[in-house]
Structure 1
Amino acid sequence: MSALEHAAVLELRDVHKLFGENHVLTGVDLLIEKHEVVVLIGASGSGKSTLMRTVNLIERVDDGQILLSGDDITDPRAATDKVRARIGVVFQHFNLFPHMRVIDNVTLAARKVHRMPADEARTKGVDLLTRFGLGDKVDEYPDRLSGGQQQRVAIVRAILTDPELLLLDEITSALDPMLVGEVLDLVRSLKDQGSTILMATHEMSFARSVADRIVFMHQGRILEQGTPEQVFDAPREAATQEFLARVTHR
Structure 2
Amino acid sequence: MSVLELHDVHKLFGDNHVLKGVDLTIDEHEVVVVIGASGSGKSTLMRTINLIERVDDGRILLSGDDITDPAVDVDKVRARIGVVFQHFNLFPHMRVIDNVTLAARKVHGTDPAVARDRAIGLLEKFGLGEKVRDYPDRLSGGQQQRVAIVRAIMTDPELLLLDEITSALDPMLVGEVLDLVRDLKAQGSTMLMATHEMSFARSVADRIVFMHGGRPLEIGPPEQIFGDPQQPETREFLARVTHR
**1:7-55 deviation per Cα after TM superposition (whole angstroms, max 9, x unaligned):** 2000000000000011100000000000000000000000000000000
SS of the residue corresponding to residue 111 of structure 1 reads helix
Q: Aligned letter for 2:72?
A: A
Partner of 1:30: 24
SS of the residue corresponding to residue 160 of structure 2 reads strand
The question of 1:155 aligning with 2:152 is answered: no
SS of the residue corresponding to residue 139 of structure 1 reads coil
Structure 1, unmatched stretches of 5+, are 1-6
SS of the residue corresponding to residue 130 of structure 1 reads helix
Partner of 2:165: 171
Tell me the distance in 2 between the aligned counterparts of 1:116 and 1:44. Answer: 39
The question of 1:197 aligning with 2:191 is answered: yes
Partner of 1:56: 50
Partner of 1:130: 124
Tell me the distance in 2 between the aligned counterparts of 1:99 and 1:31. Answer: 39
The question of 1:180 aligning with 2:179 is answered: no
SS of the residue corresponding to residue 114 of structure 1 reads coil
SS of the residue corresponding to residue 44 of structure 1 reads coil
**1:43-82 deviation per Cα after TM superposition (whole angstroms, max 9, x unaligned):** 0000000000000000000000000000000000110000
Q: Aligned letter for 1:217?
A: M
Tell me the distance in 2 between the aligned counterparts of 1:65 and 1:128. Answer: 34
1:226 shift after superposition: 0.3
Please list, as runs of the form range in 1=range in 2, the aligned pairs for 1:88-127 lying within 5 A after superposition.
88-127=82-121
Tell me the distance in 2 between the aligned counterparts of 1:221 and 1:215. Answer: 9
SS of the residue corresponding to residue 109 of structure 1 reads helix
Tell me the distance in 2 between the aligned counterparts of 1:180 and 1:87. Answer: 23
**1:87-107 deviation per Cα after TM superposition (whole angstroms, max 9, x unaligned):** 000000000011100000000
Partner of 2:213: 219
Tell me the distance in 1 between the aligned counterparts of 2:86 and 2:176. Answer: 15
Structure 2, unmatched stretches of 5+, are none
Tell me the distance in 2 between the aligned counterparts of 1:71 and 1:84. Answer: 13
Tell me the distance in 2 between the aligned counterparts of 1:219 and 1:80. Answer: 28
> Percent identity among equivalent residues?
81
The question of 1:9 aligning with 2:3 is answered: yes
**Which of 144, 157, 162 does residue 138 from structure 2 map onto?**
144
- Return the TM-score normalized by structure 1: 0.97
SS of the residue corresponding to residue 24 of structure 2 reads strand
1:223 shift after superposition: 0.2
1:119 shift after superposition: 0.2
SS of the residue corresponding to residue 92 of structure 1 reads coil
1:115 shift after superposition: 0.4
Tell me the distance in 1 between the aligned counterparts of 2:154 and 2:215. Answer: 32
Partner of 2:13: 19
The question of 1:248 aligning with 2:242 is answered: yes
Partner of 1:46: 40
SS of the residue corresponding to residue 93 of structure 1 reads coil
Q: Aligned letter for 1:24?
A: V
Aligned length: 244
- Return the TM-score normalized by structure 2: 1.00
